[in-house]
Structure 1
Amino acid sequence: MRIRTLTLAAASGAALLAAGVLPAHATGAGRPAAVQEGTVSAADLLAKVTSCQQISNGKYRTDEETSATVPVCGKNGAVFWKADMDIDCDGQRTAKCSESTDPWYQDDTAFHQSDGKPLRADTLPYVVVPSSSGIWNYASAGVKGGGVVAVIYNNKVEYAVVGDTGPDQIIGEASYATAQALGIDPDPETGGTDSGVTYIVFKNNQVSPIESHSAAVTLGDKLAKQFLQNN
């Protein structure tokens, strides 16, 4: 494992766009890379995660061959980590995500769409969390499948959902769509980035339906504002 389908009506998307919650590109199929979502800046979010109160029992590796250097940190209303980004193409089989494009491809994700199908990595921004272990149990920290994550890279914010689980000793993985939106090479075999990605996972929330990226942006913007106020 290396680790957006828009289901809202066009009128709903237009309303969110008019309200300034969605960027102009978000309602179209061709999303330009590296455009901020929502109204909260990357700089404001990053200013709240400059220091780490470690809540994990140990640290994670970013890849199998690296040493364990990444802790999970706690804040009021969220947990966060700073790592790399490997590309997860698991879930529904598509032209961009399949055995032919991804040597580690799996046809399922830990969390599913409202219709029971696996998530679609090439259209839905989602983040992979490490499977529960002695290092850290994400569920006990208030992290839920479908919970909102603010993913920050190169001073851009992309809202994603917790969509899959990965190896229990490795951290720093997100879907093809997450990488593409942030201007990171989304190729599941050769893409990703070695560093510079901050993942802020907001606690005790779930996007419904999980496959609605518009809903994730709306909820994420609200939770990000609360995060700034409470920290």
Structure 2
Amino acid sequence: MRLRTLTLAAASGAALLAAGVLPANATASPTSAQEGTVSAADLLAKVSSCTQLSSGKYRTDEETAATVPVCGKNGAVFWKADMDIDCDGQRTTNCNEDRDPWYQADTAFHQSDGKPLKAESLPYVVVPSSSAIWNYANAGIKGGGVVAVIYNNKVEYAVVGDTGPTEIIGEASYATAKALGIDPDPETGGTDSGVTYLLFKNSKASPIESHSAAVTLGDQLARQFLSAN
């Protein structure tokens, strides 16, 4: 988990990636967003107001004030925050001790083969560890749960892949940032604001390491979310 303020990164152009076009066991990192058939604008229209679920609010970085609540909607929870870069898990070219001063070789949730996740290639989101502020498990959020990450009019589907500090929110994997056009550098990248994390309750991509599974299920859940809210 990054405990620092990050600079805003410019977003790049992106193309539509249709849901389900990759085999179910595909693990290659995404190259573009928007993903699926539901637009960022349609999803954001449903999360314009907040019914607060958390007992308190979260900080986006160690030195900032606590201003971010966890909000509830039918079938989902969401928050609006920054994006710090998580590069933990299996060592890869861009996620290792040399590239990331905060690198850890494990993730809270693991692949189907028991190994840690790969932050460089798998889009995943970090949720705050359970505390008096909010308990993600009690809200129907679990490892492998599907998340729509929305930034700069793009939608990227990810999974719940790791847990972070109990009082800080707003973090996702190297692959998530890269797909959304956010600088994925674990030390200097990320963005200070403008990211919406929409987590679908009681969902699970299977296997957790299959990005295509997350996209297929995420697109389905996003359409259900629009109908239910």
Q: Give the TM-score of the pair, scaled to structure 1.
A: 0.89
2:195 matches 1:197: yes
CA contact (8 A) 1:23 1:38 kept: no
Partner of 2:7: none
Give secondary structure in 2 for the equivalent of 1:144: coil
Partner of 1:76: 74
Amino acid at match of 1:183: G
Partner of 1:12: none
Amino acid at match of 1:146: G
Q: For residues 97 and 183 of structure 1, do their structure 2 counterparts lie closer, same or farther at Cα, with a shift above 3 Å needed?
A: same
Which sections of structure 2, spanning at least 5 residues, go unmatched? 4-16
Partner of 2:225: 227
CA contact (8 A) 1:83 1:197 kept: yes
2:141 matches 1:147: no
Partner of 1:132: 130
Give secondary structure in 2 for the equivalent of 1:80: strand
Within 5 A, what are the aligned runs for 1:65-214?
Answer: 65-214=63-212
State the superposition RMSD in angstroms: 1.7
Alignment size in residue pairs: 213
Amino acid at match of 2:64: T
Q: For residues 98 and 28 of structure 1, do their structure 2 counterparts lie closer, same or farther at Cα, with a shift above 3 Å needed?
A: closer
Separation in 2 of the partners of 1:205 and 1:29?
Answer: 22
CA contact (8 A) 1:62 1:83 kept: yes
CA contact (8 A) 2:28 2:122 kept: no
CA contact (8 A) 1:114 1:211 kept: yes
Separation in 2 of the partners of 1:207 and 1:102?
Answer: 28
Separation in 1 of the partners of 2:159 and 2:99?
Answer: 23
Structure 1 residue 84, shift from structure 2 partner: 0.1
Structure 1 residue 32, shift from structure 2 partner: 3.8
Give the number of the structure whose residues are more often helix, by fraction.
1
Amino acid at match of 1:153: Y
Separation in 1 of the partners of 2:199 and 2:87?
Answer: 20
Partner of 1:217: 215
Q: Give the TM-score of the pair, scaled to structure 2.
A: 0.89
Separation in 2 of the partners of 1:166 and 1:139?
Answer: 14
Give secondary structure in 2 for the equivalent of 1:225: helix
Separation in 1 of the partners of 2:201 and 2:178?
Answer: 25
CA contact (8 A) 2:20 2:213 kept: no
CA contact (8 A) 2:43 2:226 kept: yes
Which sections of structure 1, spanning at least 5 residues, go unmatched? 4-16
Separation in 2 of the partners of 1:94 and 1:211?
Answer: 15
Separation in 1 of the partners of 2:191 and 2:183?
Answer: 8
